[in-house]
Amino acid sequence: MESRYNQLTGTDVLTYHWLIPPGTGVSVGELEVVSDERSGIRYFTRVTGIAHDPETGGVQVTGLPIGCIDQERVFRKPRTIPLLHSPVRPLQSTEIAVLRGFMGEIEVGTVTSGNQRMVDLPVGIPSSVLNQHLGIFATTGMGKSNLMKVFCASAIVSRKVGILLTDPHGEYATGQPGNPDSRGLVHHPLAKDGLRVYTIRSKDVAGEYWMKTLRIGYKDLAIADLGLIFDLSPAQYEVVNLLLPFSTDEIIDFFINDDVESLPSHLRTTAYIGNHQEIAQRVRSAPPDALRLVQRQMRTLLDLTSKFVHPAESSLPEILEDLDNNRVVIIDIPGMSDAAELFILSAISRAIFKKRQRRFIEHGTAGSGGSVLISIEEAQRVLSQHSEKTGIFREIAMEGRKFGVGIGAITQQPKNIDSRVLAQMNTLFVMGLADRQDREIIASSAKHDLRVLDTEIQTLDRGDAVISTVGIPFPVSCRIHYFEDYLDSLWENSSG
């Protein structure tokens, strides 16, 4: 029986089986090669199952074919099966070089083969696929924030894509507050060229890290975004819809300076004497209670966003130019509420989408730069199945691809994301999901079949990920770089 060890004992197109000697170390996720010596084809396989074999005393290994290389060194999906008893062995350097050729320019970590890191095989996402949307799914503590920092740091190096990132915790720009060992993207060796930070922090802090003051003008806002912040009744939505034809600066001025209690209605004969005759005429038929609530909510919203919303000044032209120039843009708003974060993200996302949509209509292209990826933390807030609070984000998820705008949805709860939105995501990072329903939903949405990797996904450690992207022809197991270590390597390379 020893001669049968490490040889193929059974196969079909989707599953390989082989035996290894007792006591041999093997792990789920290991990459192996089945070498068909008759045809010269090398079949790549990934270990998906391990079990004792009582008959032989060995270990029965099950593998998933992920591709094969023929004599011309062309990698393709396996549509044939290797010869029975073909030897099974680890990857060799020439085969690793073939896999390296599929990796993109935005490096996030290194391939893992079972418990082993393949340090000579970095994992990189092709920037060309980011307009097709990206999802990062993980339970708390599995390393989502570290992944995003590494992803942005690599994008600063490659300069092939613009990334928009809101930061209500102040960790992405300067590091985790209260942790002296933590660093942020401002510490990147290429930060002054590839990074822009727009902040609400004091001028002293902004000056120390060459940040820019964040300003969002009244005209940048949209009355429809009230639905992102507040739970609006049908009557309130009626008021919002009545106001859609007017510019937001006019609407704000109306609600701030006029008392809706004094507006004329069908039951009143008094005349309106304010500066917004058309608005007053438009809303006079609205339910008075709903109108009062909208006015109160508008004033509350301006209080919540007073640190960055300005009647006239706006940072949006600079932000859009930075993204067109393939920079990482951080909206640094430490201490801001969820409502304020969503409001500003919606305003900037709308400006990005409309600008690129307009350029596409006028010139047939979204622009000379790369794609723009809009990152949304806790994405289930605005992309859930039944929520009306979708605003511009659903529009981007459904139509952004053709205009070079992608959504980067980050969430612990993929089951709460609209399945139609999930289906649009062509790059997925799965970093450990305890909930079976979450795993099943991701597996059914991924461009690669992740169902056979369910055991591996359940056993992922902090910082590990299974990556499925249209840019790489098979799902990849990856150890994400630790951000501070990755920064050190970038500094070493820049000084060398």
Report the pLDDT value the prediction gives residue 441, as an integer from 0 to 100.
86
| Residue 87 φ/ψ, nearest 5 degrees | -70, 145
How far is the CA of 57 from the CAs of 19, 20, 21, 23, 60, in angstroms? 10, 10, 8, 10, 9
Pairing of strands 405-411, 59-69: unpaired
Residues of the chain with pLDDT under 70: 1-3, 261-274, 366-369, 385-390, 496
- Whether the full predicted model's pTM is greater than 0.85, yes or no, is yes
Instruction: State both tokens at 380.
Output: 């289930």
Angle formed by the axes of helices 144-158 and 483-495, nearest 10° = 20
| Domain range summary for the chain, segments of one domain joined by + | 2-100, 120-214+315-495, 220-304
Closest CA to 342 of 291, 311, 397, 383: 383
Instruction: For 120-214+315-495, give the CATH class.
Output: alpha beta
Find out whether 184 and 351 touch, Cβ atoms under 8 Å: no
Report the pLDDT value the prediction gives residue 366, as an integer from 0 to 100.
62
- For CA atoms 106, 110, 112, 113, give the dihedral sign: positive
Instruction: State both tokens at 293.
Output: 């609530």
pLDDT in tens, 196-251: 999 999 888 888 889 999 999 999 988 888 887 888 888 999 999 999 999 999 99
| Residue 181 φ/ψ, nearest 5 degrees | -90, -10
- For CA atoms 379, 385, 391, 393, give the dihedral sign: positive
Closest CA to 160 of 370, 443, 456, 464: 370
The full 3-state SS of 293-305, as one line of letters, equals HHHHHHHHHHHHC
Tally of helices (H runs) and strands (E runs) in the chain: 18, 21
Report the pLDDT value the prediction gives residue 483, as an integer from 0 to 100.
96
| Residue 342 φ/ψ, nearest 5 degrees | -65, -35
Report the pLDDT value the prediction gives residue 269, as an integer from 0 to 100.
47
Question: Up-side HSE of residue 153: CA atoms within 13 Å toward CB?
Answer: 31
| Residue 189 φ/ψ, nearest 5 degrees | -65, -25
Report the pLDDT value the prediction gives residue 268, as an integer from 0 to 100.
47
Rounded CA-CA distance 111/464 in Å is 10
Question: Which helix (H) or strand (E) covers residue 173, if one does?
Answer: helix 171-174
Rounded CA-CA distance 174/184 in Å is 4
Report the pLDDT value the prediction gives residue 265, as an integer from 0 to 100.
55
Rounded CA-CA distance 118/110 in Å is 6
Sheet containing 405-411, strands listed edge to edge, beginning at the edge strand earlier in sequence = 116-125, 106-113, 476-480, 464-469, 427-430, 134-137, 405-411, 372-377, 162-167, 328-332, 195-199, 212-213
Report the pLDDT value the prediction gives residue 368, as an integer from 0 to 100.
60
| CATH number of this structure's domain 2-100, picked from the four choices 3.30.70, 3.40.50, 2.40.30, 2.60.40 | 2.40.30
To which residue do tokens 């004033």 refer?
Answer: 299
